[in-house]
Amino acid sequence: MAPILRIEHLVKVYPTGTRALDDVSLDVERGEFVVLIGLSGSGKSTLLRCINRLVEPTSGRILLDGTDMARARGSELRRMRRRIGMIFQQFNLVRRSSVFANVLAGRLGSRPLWRTVAMRPTTEDVALAFENLGRVGIVGKAYSRADALSGGQQQRVGIARALMQRPDLMLADEPVASLDPATSHSVMKYLEEINRKDGITVLCSLHFLSLARRYGTRVIALKDGRVAFDGKPVDIDEVRFKEIYGEDAVEVEIGVGPTADERAAAESADATAAAMRAHLETLDTH
């Protein structure tokens, strides 16, 4: 079976002359959980942002099921982007809007413009929004403002928003870099769940090798914009670690522990259904 994503000789040179990606080639198979690691400035974020064209590549090919995203334009590019979910380090939520409105924003590329302008989501979109909020355990926060949530809760909103696209490929750009260790595991478990249960391919950049070992089925290390390692997490020994991070680097373990976010994640299916019904009743009255 052909890979869902194939990157061929990808180069990105910024206007400052910085060569962020230098002839990167790799395949990502369907259903993989691939973790990108490397020092800050190694090219991890640039690679993810080139894949969905938030950053324009200088040269090379980015094949999504055989179609080159690097050359896609207009409606073809929009159609391809709908297949790729994106989770950001800084959450990228509309802070003054409700959690529910932020999650619905994940459907913007899949519904007519008039529905967005009139703020009239379809019944299907409403049901999907509550389903995804239930999956990440924050359906009870649906009508809270995004800026009233903790960092871990905001990132779960980001995951729910990305799931609204029903993506085939999920990109996560250092999704736990702003979170404490225990909450980091809480968020990573949701990514693991959508990978295993939904079969969504995940490509996630992380700072910590311990998280890569715990959640990744494969690790790709970037160094100075080039692939320095591509293999199984267990194959990264101390020698490999220092090749990737430098001779003076010390590996930091991110331990697992219970958090308030994890306890709050145990929302019931009844709460999801009740909140959805309440919203639908509100729509019917207008």
Can you give the length of the chain in residues?
286
Q: Is the pLDDT score of 81 beyond 70? A: yes
The pLDDT score that the predictor gives to residue 251 is 75
Judge contact between 231 and 218, C-beta under 8 A.
yes
- Asked if pLDDT for residue 171 goes beyond 50, the answer is yes
pTM for the complete prediction? 0.84
CATH number of 30-52+74-284: 3.40.50.300
Predicted pLDDT at 207: 87
Least confident of 30-34, 74-78, 147-151, 276-280: 276-280
Provide the H-helix boundaries in 70-180: 74-81, 99-104, 113-118, 123-135, 151-163
pLDDT for 114 beyond 80: no
Mean pLDDT of the chain: 88
pLDDT at 264 (0 to 100): 47
Which of 222, 218, 211 minimizes the C-alpha distance to 245? Answer: 222
Q: d(Cα 259, Cα 246) in Å, to the nearest integer?
A: 33
Is residue 286 pLDDT above 90, yes or no?
no
Where does the pLDDT of residue 82 fall: very low under 50, low under 70, confident under 90, or very high at 90 and above?
A: very high
pLDDT of 35 reads 97
Query: Token pair for residue 14?
Result: 């910024």
Write down the domain spans for the chain.
30-52+74-284
Read off the pLDDT of residues 117-155 as tens digits, 9 standing for 90 and up. 556 788 999 999 999 999 999 999 999 999 999 999 999
Q: How far is CA 163 from CA 86, 107, 171, in A?
A: 9, 9, 11
pLDDT at 23: 97
Quote the pLDDT of residue 139.
95
Task: Render pLDDT for 27-62 as a digit per residue (tens, 0 to 9).
Answer: 999 999 999 999 999 999 999 999 999 999 999 999
Q: What is the pLDDT of residues 218-264, one digit of tens each?
A: 999 999 999 999 999 999 988 898 888 887 777 777 665 444 444 44
Question: What proportion of the chain, given as a percentage, has pLDDT over 70?
Answer: 86
Contact (Cβ atoms closer than 8 angstroms) between residue 205 and residue 48: yes
In sequence order, what are the beta bridge partners of 37? 221
Tell me what pLDDT residue 249 has.
74
**Residue 272 pLDDT exceeds 90:** no
- Asked if the model's pLDDT at residue 112 lies above 70, the reply is no
Distance of alpha carbon 162 from alpha carbon 217, whole angstroms:
21
